[in-house]
Amino acid sequence: MTATRDVGTPLGRGEVVLDVRDLRVVFDTRRGRARAVDGVTLTLRAGETLGLVGESGCGKTVTALSLMRSVPSPGIIDGGSVSFEGRELLAMPEAQVAKLRGRSIALIPQDPLTALNPVMTVGAHITEVLEVHLGMRGAPALERAADLMARVGIPEPRRRLDSYPHQLSGGMRQRVMIALAIACQPAVLIADEPTTALDATVQAQILELLDELKHETGMSLLLITHNLGIVAGHCDRVAVMYCGRVAETAPVADLFIHPHHRYTAGLLACVPRLDRQEKGVFYTIPGIPPELTALPPGCAFAARCEAATERCRNERPDLASVDDTGAHRMACWNPAGIGDSTSARAAVSR
């Protein structure tokens, strides 16, 4: 249960800050209605990092944008619930959501170059955010902007406040995006593939920085990535998405050691491992995901799954608990690692 509280009042570690239920987002296209998010259910707790993983196009980014009610046209949030600190975001007036956006829930987008304003210095951009959300102006706002730039590791922060985005390296632009996102000390930070375009050294620095900021401020982090190594190293829990739905969710170690959904098991098998790899042979999941405009009636993974049965093709599995704790949940009729198709479903409880 989540409790309604004043915005900005910190939650205790482990309390549910975001509670998403049966979220649905559709895009009406010339080829039909695409179900980009098709009944996503997940929770994010105060102070934790939840990794959101899955192949490109599985709905990770659209899910994240829905949490800020920022789905781009022609996308429409078609149903479900997004509760932020006990308040229903989907029912709020737009003006109220606008106050939360950037202030309480902030986003680090995939591509900082397109997110930053090319004709605005980064200092002007940061001080604008401080003015809009916190009412800070003039010297105190500039001081705070320089502090934020220093905090995210930008050298000569005062001088860099006068830089335009094109004058900064990719790593520095990403740091500016992080400075913007943490400017108001949000309760929830959504990082959408924040290191995809960066080299390995800068990637490690950015991820370390996010970890430090999370520990300092107690914020929650929703980390969207397709990199399972990043999930293993930086997340507390993970949700695996496939075709707009959560296929499996669990504490990280549990999911890596005991993946149950056949798609999760396939994703993990795709990770190259020096101790297991036959020379030059890499596993890939066969086939491609179905069109989001023509999802099958049953499990969306059925056409790619070696364990698919008639039931899989006709009946869509819901998320079900694997054990009594409810921490590990998956949506599969014939899970890996539990047993055969008859005993497997009996071993899981709804």
Q: Which stretch binds ligand SF4 (CB under 6 A): 49-57, 86-94, 119-127, 297-305?
A: 297-305
Q: Which residues pair with 28 in a beta bridge?
A: 33
Site size toward ligand SF4 (CB under 6 A) is 14
> What are the helix (H) ranges across 120-247?
122-134, 138-151, 157-160, 170-182, 200-217, 228-234
Q: Which distant-in-sequence residues (6+ apart) come within 8 Å of 11 by Cβ? A: 5, 17, 46, 85, 187
Candidates 67, 246, 302, 348: give the one binding ligand SF4 (CB under 6 A).
Answer: 302
Residue with the two structure tokens 């737009």: 94
DSSP letter string over 252-317? HHHHHHS--SHHHHHHHHTS--TTTPPTT------S-PPPTTS--SS-TTGGG-TT--HHHHHSPP
Candidates 25, 230, 317, 348: give the one binding ligand SF4 (CB under 6 A).
Answer: 317
Q: Which stretch binds ligand SF4 (CB under 6 A): 44-52, 93-101, 166-174, 258-266?
A: 258-266
One character per residue 207-246, x = contact with ligand SF4 (rule: CB under 6 A): ----------------------------------------
Candidates 45, 125, 173, 262: give the one binding ligand SF4 (CB under 6 A).
Answer: 262
Q: Which stretch binds ligand SF4 (CB under 6 A): 94-102, 109-117, 150-158, 300-308?
A: 300-308
Neighbours of 229 (CB within 10 A): 9
Q: Is residue 312 involved in binding ligand SF4 (CB under 6 A)? A: yes
Answer for the pair 87, 18: CB distance below 8 angstroms, yes or no.
no
Candidates 46, 58, 146, 333: give the one binding ligand SF4 (CB under 6 A).
Answer: 333
Q: Is residue 27 involved in binding ligand SF4 (CB under 6 A)? A: no
Q: Which sign, positive or negative, has the C-alpha torsion 339, 340, 344, 347?
A: negative
DSSP letter string over 220-246? EEEEE-S-HHHHHHH-SEEEEEETTEE
Q: Which is nearer to ligand SF4, 178 or 305 (CB)?
A: 305
Q: Which stretch binds ligand SF4 (CB under 6 A): 109-117, 154-162, 183-191, 304-312?
A: 304-312
What's the closest the beta carbon of residue 222 comes to ligand SF4, in angstroms? 24
**Dist. CA 194–CA 167, nearest whole Å:** 20
Q: Which stretch binds ligand SF4 (CB under 6 A): 36-44, 123-131, 260-268, 275-283?
A: 260-268
Candidates 81, 205, 308, 321: give the one binding ligand SF4 (CB under 6 A).
Answer: 308
In a 10 Å sphere around its CB, with 0-12 CB exposed, 13-18 middle and 19+ buried, how is residue 280 labelled?
Answer: exposed
What's the closest the beta carbon of residue 21 comes to ligand SF4, in angstroms? 21
Q: Which is nearer to ligand SF4, 2 or 341 (CB)?
A: 341
Q: Which is nearer to ligand SF4, 106 or 255 (CB)?
A: 255
Candidates 11, 299, 320, 338: give the one binding ligand SF4 (CB under 6 A).
Answer: 299
Q: Is residue 307 involved in binding ligand SF4 (CB under 6 A)? A: yes
Nearest CA among 148, 138, 68 for reference residue 103: 68
Q: Is residue 301 involved in binding ligand SF4 (CB under 6 A)? A: yes
Q: What are phi and psi of 11, to 5 degrees?
A: -85, 155
**Dist. CA 254–CA 258, nearest whole Å:** 6
**Dist. CA 346–CA 323, nearest whole Å:** 11
Q: What's the token pair of residue 165? A: 């985005």
Q: Which stretch binds ligand SF4 (CB under 6 A): 98-106, 145-153, 271-279, 306-314?
A: 306-314
Which residues of the chain form contacts with ligand SF4 (CB under 6 A)? 261-263, 299, 301-302, 305, 307-308, 312, 317, 332-334
